[in-house]
Structure 1
Amino acid sequence: MRVAMIGTGYVGLVSGTCFSEFGHTVVCVDKNPERIEALQNGSIPIFEPGLEDLVARNVKAGRLFFTQDIKAAVDGADAVFIAVGTPSRRGDGEADLSYVYAAAGEIAAAMTRYTLVVTKSTVPVGTGREVERIIRTARPDADFEVASNPEFLREGAAIEDFMRPDRVVCGAESERAREVLRGLYRPLYINETPILFTAIETAELIKYAANAFLATKITFINEIADLCEKVNVNVQDVARGIGLDGRIGGKFLHAGPGYGGSCFPKDTQALVATGRKYEAPLRIVETVVDVNDRRKRQMAEKIVAACSGSVRGKTIAVLGLTFKPETDDMRDSPSLEIVPALQAAGATVRAYDPEGMGEAKKLLNGVVWCDDTYAAASGADALVIITEWNQFRALDLGRLKGLLSQPLIVDLRNIYKPAEMQQAGFAYHSVGRPPVRT
């Protein structure tokens, strides 16, 4: 089948590449000439494990192309996916759908045959109908349908998630549209992946409801972690105890500095805005948003408290800046709250991240950027772990202790065992577990 993917951001580039790996001919479109030129030259604008090799293989096979020409991409396409950004709108938290609607107008002008227009972007309930209205108004004669096919890709594991998903959700209301989607996902049918067909509005809401529920699990265990610290209990034991309950499950029950990234923050805000719009307020999700925002600030306070109540004049080494490992994505990362708060309290921050420093330098000022973990730790009064990159899980503790001016570690991801750190001679503060003092 022939596919046009409008947008070469994270979702568009990963989805388009994976569809080409399924054997389809995919043309990815973007208005940014520098991005298209880079992609045509084999340069990938985002860090995602395995993506560079997958792009190169499918370009070489003649299945994957990149262009600025939306008309050429849409002409003759069986399916056109809208995979543009839907950032939070300033002021009210609603999703900014201007890019989606602009894409719909351009698709309308370019269609030459029956086309299934599919929203892959995360969009509020009712967006698909508006996309249909925009296209129908511009092209009353056009033979087309609109469908919704939300993405469920985890950054750092996106290719695996696309190739072997838990489920595929398709909002498609005619058999003709469903047949196009079945054809696109045929390799997953062979693997008996559950493919759920629903109404368009149902598919749109499933995406938001899923992200809000996962964000709620994260926020719940973070609040339990606060209680654990007060009553001298290990939150990891609590999480394991409740996670073994099949009704709850252990995923997303890892205490930490709060969620960030491209999805959870904007999607929970957009869902809250949708609830208010339809006079069906989502009190639990509203609380999740508020608690998560406050938690990031509390983590800076936790670091200050571990440093005997003041970081003025002190040097803090920070390991990890991205919102999660295996990505260079800095969007709504806890580090964007924690680092400035430490600086405002009088600290000098030395930082290192394996992949995120290019993006971090655009967003954080006054930071001393370091080439590796041990350069960041050299002469620091404390070391803080914000992102749980694998290379931080097996640090040379003896070397680290010799480099720090005092043996103090604040681990916001609980990647070390308190007993291990005590044996190594560190004062060790983690999340939801009793501190270890020297």
Structure 2
Amino acid sequence: MHIAMIGTGYVGLVSGACFADFGHQVTCVDKDEGKIAALLRGEIPIFEPGLDVLVATNVKAGRLKFTTDLTAPVAEADAVFIAVGTPSRRGDGHADLSYVYAAAREIAAVVQGFTVVITKSTVPVGTGDEVERLIREANPSADVAVASNPEFLREGAAIRDFKFPDRIVVGTMDERARKVLGDIYRPLSLNQAPLMFTGRRTAEMIKYAANAFLATKITFINEIADLSEKVGANVQEVARGIGLDNRIGTKFLHAGPGFGGSCFPKDTKALVKIALDHDVHLRIVEAVLAVNDNRKRAMARKVSSAYGGSLRGKTVAVLGLTFKPDTDDMRDAPSIPLVTGLLDMGAKVRAHDPVGMEMARRELPDIEYSDDPYLCARGADALVVVTEWAQYRALDLERLKNELAHPVVVDLRNVYRPEDMAAHGFIYDSIGRPPEAQG
């Protein structure tokens, strides 16, 4: 199959590379000349484990190409995926669909023969209808079927998620489109991946509902963590106890500083706005957003409390800046309000992240950065673990204590065992564990 992938962001580049690895002929298109030039040089603009090798392998095999001009790729394509950004619109939280609609108009101008146009971007319910209307308005003779095929990729595990998916959702009632998408995903049949065909609007709704539910699980366990601290329970054991119920499951029940990233904040806000447009109030999702925002801001106060007083003039070392490990994504990362709150308290902040510091400098330009976690801790009055990178789990605790001016550690990801921290003489605070377990 010939595939044109419009957009080389996270979803577009990972999806394009994986489709090429299935044996399809894929051309990734992006208007950003610098990004395309970098990709042609073999440079990957995002951090995703294994993506550099996957791209290089398929470029070498001739199955994956990059260009800034969509004319030829779209004209010869059996399927055109729209994988452009849909960021939250400033001021109201709605998804900004300008890039999606611009892509639809450009596709309409050059499409030839029967072509399936698929929205891969996360879009509000009804967007596929508007994409189809725009294409037919711009080119009434176009022989196209518009489908929805939402992505369910986790940053840091995107390639595995693409090749071993829980489900593949395809929204279309067009039999020709079903056949094309069935052929595109046929290589996954060996993995017995369920291919679920629905209506287009249902597919669009599935994506938002899934992210809102997962965000709700995270927010729920974070509130239970706060209660656990007060009553002397251990939230990790609580999560395990309820997670063993197969109606609940263990995933997304890890207490922490709140959810962030490119999907959950943006998509939950968009879902609330979609509901309001239809005179529906999603009270649970609205509460999830409010609780999550408040939690992020509260983390700076937690650090101040652990230190036992004012942080003015004190140095706080922050380990981990990205919203999760194995990515360089800083979008809505909990580290941003945490660091901002610490600065507002008069603290000096020094930070380390294995891959995210370049991106972090754009969001947090007024702090110091260290290339090594021990240098980050050197002379600091307190240390905060914000992102659970694997290398932070293996730190030499004795050396870490010797580097710190005061042995205060606030562990927002429950990376360490309280008894280990106590044995090394740390003043230790974590999330959702009783005071006597903190050290």
TM-score of the pair, normalised by structure 2: 0.99
Which stretches in structure 1 are left out of the alignment for 5+ residues?
none
Distance in 2 (CA, whole Å) between partners of 1:263 and 1:161 is: 15
The equivalent of 1:360 in structure 2 is 360
Distance in 2 (CA, whole Å) between partners of 1:228 and 1:152 is: 32
- Contact 2:225/2:235 (8 A) holds in 1: yes
The equivalent of 1:345 in structure 2 is 345
Quote how far apart the aligned CAs of 1:364 are.
Answer: 0.4
The equivalent of 2:163 in structure 1 is 163
The Cα offsets for residues 53-86 of structure 1, whole Å up to 9 and x where unpaired, read as: 0000000000000000111110110000000000
The equivalent of 2:70 in structure 1 is 70
- Contact 1:385/1:412 (8 A) holds in 2: yes
The equivalent of 1:417 in structure 2 is 417
The equivalent of 1:6 in structure 2 is 6
Quote how far apart the aligned CAs of 1:98 are.
Answer: 0.4
After superposition, the Cα gap between the structure-2 partners of 1:283 and 1:437, relative to the gap in structure 1 and judged at 3 Å, is: closer
Distance in 2 (CA, whole Å) between partners of 1:192 and 1:233 is: 41
Distance in 1 (CA, whole Å) between partners of 2:289 and 2:267 is: 10
Distance in 1 (CA, whole Å) between partners of 2:142 and 2:254 is: 50
SS of corresponding position for 2:125: coil
The Cα offsets for residues 408-431 of structure 1, whole Å up to 9 and x where unpaired, read as: 100000011111111111111000
- Contact 2:430/2:438 (8 A) holds in 1: no
The equivalent of 1:304 in structure 2 is 304
- Contact 1:426/1:437 (8 A) holds in 2: no
Question: Given the alignment of the two structures, is residue 26 of structure 1 paired with residue 26 of structure 2, yes or no?
Answer: yes
Letter in 2 for 1:268: T
Quote how far apart the aligned CAs of 1:113 are.
Answer: 1.0
Matches within 5 A, 1:289-438: 289-435=289-435
Question: Given the alignment of the two structures, is residue 230 of structure 1 paired with residue 230 of structure 2, yes or no?
Answer: yes
The equivalent of 1:269 in structure 2 is 269
- Contact 2:299/2:338 (8 A) holds in 1: yes
Quote how far apart the aligned CAs of 1:37 are.
Answer: 0.4
Out of 366-375 and 60-69, give the one that drifted further.
Answer: 366-375
Distance in 1 (CA, whole Å) between partners of 2:79 and 2:242 is: 43
- Contact 2:418/2:438 (8 A) holds in 1: no
Distance in 1 (CA, whole Å) between partners of 2:423 and 2:203 is: 52
Matches within 5 A, 1:73-152: 73-152=73-152
Quote how far apart the aligned CAs of 1:191 are.
Answer: 2.3
Quote how far apart the aligned CAs of 1:437 are.
Answer: 6.4
The equivalent of 1:206 in structure 2 is 206
Which stretches in structure 2 are left out of the alignment for 5+ residues?
none
Distance in 2 (CA, whole Å) between partners of 1:54 and 1:71 is: 26
The equivalent of 2:242 in structure 1 is 242
The Cα offsets for residues 227-253 of structure 1, whole Å up to 9 and x where unpaired, read as: 011111110010000000000000000
- Contact 1:268/1:285 (8 A) holds in 2: yes
Distance in 2 (CA, whole Å) between partners of 1:258 and 1:437 is: 20
Distance in 2 (CA, whole Å) between partners of 1:199 and 1:263 is: 23
Letter in 1 for 2:164: R
Question: Given the alignment of the two structures, is residue 189 of structure 1 paired with residue 211 of structure 2, yes or no?
Answer: no
Distance in 2 (CA, whole Å) between partners of 1:239 and 1:427 is: 25
Question: Given the alignment of the two structures, is residue 38 of structure 1 paired with residue 23 of structure 2, yes or no?
Answer: no
Letter in 1 for 2:67: T
The equivalent of 2:57 in structure 1 is 57
Distance in 2 (CA, whole Å) between partners of 1:402 and 1:131 is: 60
**Count of matched residue positions in the alignment of Structure 1 and Structure 2:** 438
Quote how far apart the aligned CAs of 1:171 are.
Answer: 0.2
Distance in 2 (CA, whole Å) between partners of 1:316 and 1:91 is: 33
Question: Given the alignment of the two structures, is residue 254 of structure 1 paired with residue 254 of structure 2, yes or no?
Answer: yes
Letter in 1 for 2:237: D
Quote how far apart the aligned CAs of 1:190 are.
Answer: 2.8
Distance in 1 (CA, whole Å) between partners of 2:292 and 2:369 is: 27
The equivalent of 1:218 in structure 2 is 218
Distance in 1 (CA, whole Å) between partners of 2:163 and 2:190 is: 12
Letter in 2 for 1:75: A
Distance in 1 (CA, whole Å) between partners of 2:140 and 2:190 is: 38
The Cα offsets for residues 6-60 of structure 1, whole Å up to 9 and x where unpaired, read as: 0000000000000000000000000000000000010000000000000000000
TM-score of the pair, normalised by structure 1: 0.99
Distance in 2 (CA, whole Å) between partners of 1:417 and 1:270 is: 38
Distance in 1 (CA, whole Å) between partners of 2:309 and 2:201 is: 51
Letter in 2 for 1:108: A
Distance in 1 (CA, whole Å) between partners of 2:394 and 2:233 is: 25
RMSD: 0.8
Distance in 1 (CA, whole Å) between partners of 2:90 and 2:36 is: 29
Percent sequence identity is 67
SS of corresponding position for 1:170: strand
Distance in 1 (CA, whole Å) between partners of 2:438 and 2:249 is: 33
Quote how far apart the aligned CAs of 1:340 are.
Answer: 1.1
Runs of 4+ displaced beyond 2 Å: 434-438
